[in-house]
Amino acid sequence: MPAPFGPFLRRQRERLRTQRGEDFSVRQVAGRAGLEPSYLSKIERALQPPPGEAAVRALARELELDPDVLLALAGKVSSDLQKVILRRPQLFAQLIRELKNQPDHAVLRVVREVRDGDW
């Protein structure tokens, strides 16, 4: 699990390049995301660790990826989620540890229950 982040970025960028014509060179993407091209290049080849949260979000935006997923690949938990947890640490710690070994569909059911609020 150390670094599928970079290669994943590269694949996605090249996929978009073949689909959406051009504008998806290292330079273009880096430019729009506010990074140096060589930095992005190194990240894509995993010669540099994933960048900070802001940069990851910018890349997710440019490459049309889910920010939470890309952040996870970068080994980071979105800071807004952290804030939610930090407000009620015991509560959320308990919940998350409880859900740790539950299958996806069980977690999803909980999500829906809360969202629909029919209880």
Nearer to DNA, 38 or 82 (CB): 38
* Binding residues for a copy of itself, total number by CB under 8 A: 38
Q: Based on the shown chain and the rule CB under 7 A, indicate whether residue 114 belongs to the binding site for DNA.
A: no
Two tokens, residue 39: 């930095």
3-state helix, strand, coil in the chain (%, to 5): 70, 0, 30
Closest among 75, 70, 92, 66 to 100, alpha carbons compared: 92
- The position carrying tokens 């997710």 is 60
Q: Based on the shown chain and the rule CB under 8 A, indicate whether residue 69 belongs to the binding site for a copy of itself.
A: yes
Residue 49 interacting entry, from DNA, a copy of itself, none, C-beta within 5 to 8 Å by type: DNA
Burial (CB count <10 Å: 0-12, 13-18, 19+), residue 96:
exposed
Q: Based on the shown chain and the rule CB under 8 A, indicate whether residue 61 belongs to the binding site for a copy of itself.
A: no
Binding residue for DNA, selected from 11, 15, 20, 45, defined by CB under 7 A? 45
Report 16-55 residues binding a copy of itself (CB under 8 A). Answer: none
Residue 4 interacting entry, from DNA, a copy of itself, none, C-beta within 5 to 8 Å by type: none
User: Do 46 and 22 touch, CB atoms closer than 8 A?
Assistant: no
Residues in touch with DNA (CB under 7 A): 22, 25-28, 34-39, 41-42, 44-45, 47-49, 51-55
